[in-house]
Structure 1
Amino acid sequence: MALEMKMYVGGELLQGGSRFDVISPATDQVVGTIAWAGAGDAEAALTAADAAFESWSGLSVSARAVWMGKLRDAVIANEEHLRECIHLEMGKPWASTQEDFDSLVNSLQFYAEEISRFRPEALVDREGTHTHTLVHEPVGVVVAYIAWNFPLLNLAFKIGPAMAAGCPIIIKPSFKTPLSAYALGALCHQIGLPAGVVNIICGDDIEVGDTLSSSKIPALLTLIGSTNTGKHIMKMGASSIKRYSMELGGNAPALVFADADLDQAADTICAVKFGNAGQVCVTPNRVFVDASVLDQFTEKVMDRVRKIRVGYDRSGDIDMGPVIDKAAWSRIDGLVRDAKAKGATVLAGGGRSDGMGAGQFYAPTVLVGVTPEMASLSAGNFRARVEHLVVHQ
């Protein structure tokens, strides 16, 4: 049965005017339906957060920490449900959902404790004519745009610091993975968190996102996403002076030199290339290997790739799930096909995983002989979320 989820605005769980179906990339089936926010809901969230700023920031650090502790306890008590949401919306192997869940618990714990260490700090005046004091103050309302690859981990990086610092936050999860964020909103409502401190809405990126970014209410816009999205948010945010905190796209390689510990290199590279189906912000896009150790390193990689277990069975010992959607699958397959057509050799994978009839499962793939003329190596805007490992001489 599909989950039914409501948005969380101003301390209330709201049905909204329309609904949106969440499709599992593991089964291609609807696994949840959420309240779909519009511009009016975004405005309501902004108003609620703005109204909450004075009272929330005015609470003592210890009082805010108590509320964060209540939310942490509710998260811990609902571990099964939160992890199930991630398992459904991403098709992520059950064991892998633990990292997301733990990150949220740890963030609420860590920042509630860490904020208490901040004290006014006297700064030495060289001339001895003035007194200088460094004081930490909440910046104001925060709008956070959350990436889909680690739904609760990415959310955790935003909600912990904001709540601890006294900043009401509006969280807009990706429409690809909104279930776990909405589930957290239900927990905020359950514990009676003061209205407007946390608001969670999901809707159209332009209608809702631009309404949030262009408003003069937020003091800070934060994003985990692509460089182009970051540029757009900054453009829309120019309606007022705002701060920005962004983790954007990259195109980074891994370099394996002749004197490298090849086992460690293979372990590390395979872990980030195939863990989470390669959908990791810090995974390398391609691997450059010194020619003198290429054959040896390639065999070590192949040995690890042969052992990767692909699937979705919650009770199974699964290493890798599907990629996030059909568009991602097609993009990856297009890159592999382009490389193969231009002379690269496919040592493993290169298409749908064996035995996986439904879902967006791409087989663990290794290419050698990749050249700059191939799209997989030359695309400067190629995000670090590609499932195949490119081993290049």
Structure 2
Amino acid sequence: MLKFFVKKSFKTIATAVTFGALSFSACAQETIKIGLVAALSGQSAKSGEAITRGISVAIDEINANGGVLGRPLELIRRDDESNPSKGLLAARELIQKEKVAALFGGLDTPVSLAIVPLVNSLKVPFIGAWAAGTPITRNGAKDNYVFRVSAVDELVDEALVNYAINNYQMRKPGMILINNPWGESNEIGFKKALKKRGIAYTGIERIESSDLDVVPQLTRLKNQGTDVLLMVANVAPSAQVVKSLDRMGWDVPIVSHWGPAGGRFGELAGANAHKVHFIQTYTFTDENSPKGEQVWNALKNKYPEIKTIADVTPAVGISNAYDAMHLTALAISKAGSTKGKKVRNAFYQIDNYEGLIKTYQFPFTKDEHDALGPNDYVFTQFVDNKIVPIK
């Protein structure tokens, strides 16, 4: 009798444990998973950190208000190490294994371009929060699942050329571009913007992420009479341009895409980092808008290491990701589902959202998957390792 009782008790306990495990598993599956593939290590790690912070603060706000479809959001991250092959593998894992409802991208255009065919094939919304390569959203796919809350190279190049003409009376620009698809995207944009204005460029020079000296490329541009450098590169090569100019003693204006904002540019470029004027979509200041102050306070509360504006460099990653996460949540809510096609179509139904960067009015249409336009850019520079607007 005792033996029977003990066996029955063990069976009851085992059943309870199994039921508990199943209940826990069911609870775990109740979250709506949001994936992020970005640079979380290496010289561009600050970009991945910024995107993570922007998404996380937005998710905290959304979950505090009941989540989406009555379910909390959960962020799952993977490090692409700025490598397209690794980014593609990470994206596939998040989509097929983790079953994310939407996937966010990071800093690097080549990584995002590698992911685009996958998400269009698997019909999962892919939201760009930083990479600006024009073909990311304008990818030619009949069934396009790629959206972006970020800059667009073609529009940025127009803004950079205008800035250089208005502030430096540029007449003989030279291009120094990273040797990858992002550089190629901007070469097309620069040529188009310059041709429109009847301005001829002096030359186009390529640089690699691994370059430790770019004096030869800069010397050729100098000898051709370049009066402004139009630069497109991420942190490390951009810093090498500044240091190489120092070695040459060539004081030429540098008007840059936002690559320098992606990491420790102020530290790596040295004392003349401030000479690079680069574009952003948003930057925190000492006098933020009410929305900016709300997000700023949330960042400080969530991340105690944030004490000054310098600690949120780069703000562009935070702001783009924050707005993009809220817009994605709105799409899922309007879709009433996490099914990829329904969510994709619901992006077109978003009519109004008061964001951090701006108030969005019908930000996406079937023909326009970029939420930000040419009027949504500001110019900045590094001062004391802090990104500040140029007055």
- What's the TM-score, normalizing by structure 2? 0.28
Larger helix percent: 2
